[in-house]
């Protein structure tokens, strides 16, 4: 199953949660430096309330890695992804749906969650093409991934997505879920690929 969208915009969590994670881990001064360098200083004064241009998200992650180095930037991305998952669970996924998923066997809950993710992929993947492969493990992929667009690395860089996916699957499908990015466009792969297993 796959879904592509041409709007080129992503939900504001991709900016707001990175700012929160940066402030918590690195402090206000580093937060200011990263956002100013990415051309996003206005978002520190007025956090985005609407969808943001995916190019802004790509710029934010590029500057994050250039400023902090890959290890620290990946830690920020992971924390921001966890916070995004928590936000979605609190505000975007109806409590009734969460209760239904919690009553289902892991396989059935996983299929329902993947269907919902594919239907709403344009909100987090922008013009990227999100695909899911059910089974055990579940394989999620984003071709044209906006987070690592234009980056070159010898390791995966999309911890923001991996952590968001892990938080959702751990809360809604199986608490022992672990998500690992096994392929990344920054490494020359055709898509960023996430292995979801429990």
Write the pLDDT tens digit of every residue in 29-45: 999 999 999 999 999 99
Q: Is 186 strand, coil or helix? A: helix
Q: What CATH number does residue 159 fall under?
A: 3.90.1520.10
Q: What is the pLDDT of residue 4?
A: 40
Domain range for 137 is: 2-197
Nearest to 16 by CA among 4, 24, 8: 24
DSSP string of 22-85?
A: HHHHT-HHHHHHHHHHTT-THHHHS---S-EEHHHHHHHHHHHHHHH-HHHHHHHHHHHHHHHH
Containing H/E element for 161? helix 159-172
Name residues whose C-beta falls within 8 Å of residue 165's C-beta, 6 or more positions apart in sequence: 81, 85, 140, 179, 194, 196
Are the C-beta atoms of 14 and 160 separated by less than 8 Å?
yes
Distances (CA, A) of 6 to 118, 121, 186: 14, 11, 22
Please state, for a pLDDT cut of 70, what percent of the chain lies above it. Answer: 96
pLDDT at residue 7 in the model: 61
Residue 120 has pLDDT above 60, yes or no: yes
Q: 3-class DSSP state for residue 12?
A: coil
C-alpha neighbours within 13 Å on the C-beta side of residue 50: 2
What is the per-residue pLDDT across 52-111, written as a single tens digit (0 to 9) for each?
999 999 999 999 999 999 999 999 999 999 999 999 999 999 999 999 999 999 999 999
What is the rounded average pLDDT for all residues in the chain?
95
**Is the pTM for the entire model greater than 0.75?**
yes
What's the rounded Cα separation, in Å, for the pair 149 and 157? 10
d(CA 38, CA 58) in angstroms, rounded, equals: 9
Per the DSSP assignment, residues forming a β-bridge with 132 are: 140
Domain count of the fold of the chain: 1
In Å, what is the CA distance from 31 to each residue of 28, 37, 159, 196?
5, 10, 18, 31
Q: Residue 50 has what pLDDT?
A: 95
pLDDT above 90 for 164: yes
Instruction: Supply the pLDDT for residue 5.
Output: 41
> What pLDDT is attached to residue 2?
38
């Amino acid at each position: 199953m796959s879904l592509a969208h041409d709007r080129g915009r992503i939900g504001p969590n991709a900016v707001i949660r990175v700012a929160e994670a940066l402030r918590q881990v690195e402090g206000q001064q580093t937060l200011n430096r990263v956002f100013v360098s990415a051309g996003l200083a206005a978002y520190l004064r007025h956090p985005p309330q609407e969808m943001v241009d995916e190019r802004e998200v790509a710029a934010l992650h590029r500057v994050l890695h250039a400023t902090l180095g890959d290890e620290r930037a990946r830690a920020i991305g992971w924390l921001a992804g966890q916070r995004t998952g928590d936000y979605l669970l609190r505000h975007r996924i109806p409590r009734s749906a969460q209760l239904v998923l919690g009553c289902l066997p892991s396989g059935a809950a996983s299929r329902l969650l993947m269907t919902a993710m594919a239907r709403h992929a344009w909100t987090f993947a922008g013009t990227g093409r999100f695909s899911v492969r059910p089974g055990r493990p579940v394989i999620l992929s984003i071709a044209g991934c906006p987070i690592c667009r234009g980056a070159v690395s010898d390791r995966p860089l999309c911890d923001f997505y991996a952590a968001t996916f892990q938080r959702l699957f751990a809360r809604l499908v199986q608490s022992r879920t672990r998500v690992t990015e096994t392929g990344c466009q920054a490494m020359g792969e055709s898509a960023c690929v996430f292995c979801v297993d429990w």
